[in-house]
Amino acid sequence: MFKELDPILHSQLRLAVMSLLIGVKEAEFTYLKEKTNATAGNLSVQIQKLKEAEYIEVVKQFKDNYPQTICKITTKGIGAFETYVNALQDYLNIK
- What one-character DSSP code corresponds to residue 60? E
Of these partners, a copy of itself, DNA, none, which one is at the site of residue 51 (CB under 5 to 8 Å by kind)? none
Sequence-separated contacts (24+) of 81-84 with Cβ below 8 Å:
81/9, 81/18, 81/19, 81/22, 81/55, 83/6, 84/5, 84/6, 84/9, 84/10, 84/15
Given the rule CB under 8 A, which of 31-39, 42-50, 54-62, 67-75 is the region that contacts a copy of itself?
Answer: 31-39
Of these partners, a copy of itself, DNA, none, which one is at the site of residue 24 (CB under 5 to 8 Å by kind)? none
CB 19 within 8 A of CB 84: no
Pick the closest to residue 16 from 30, 37, 45 (CA basis): 37
Is 61 an interacting residue with respect to a copy of itself (CB under 8 A)?
A: no
Is 90 an interacting residue with respect to a copy of itself (CB under 8 A)?
A: yes
Of these partners, DNA, a copy of itself, none, which one is at the site of residue 23 (CB under 5 to 8 Å by kind)? a copy of itself
Residues in touch with a copy of itself (CB under 8 A): 1-2, 4-5, 10, 12, 15-16, 19, 22-23, 35-37, 85, 88, 90-94
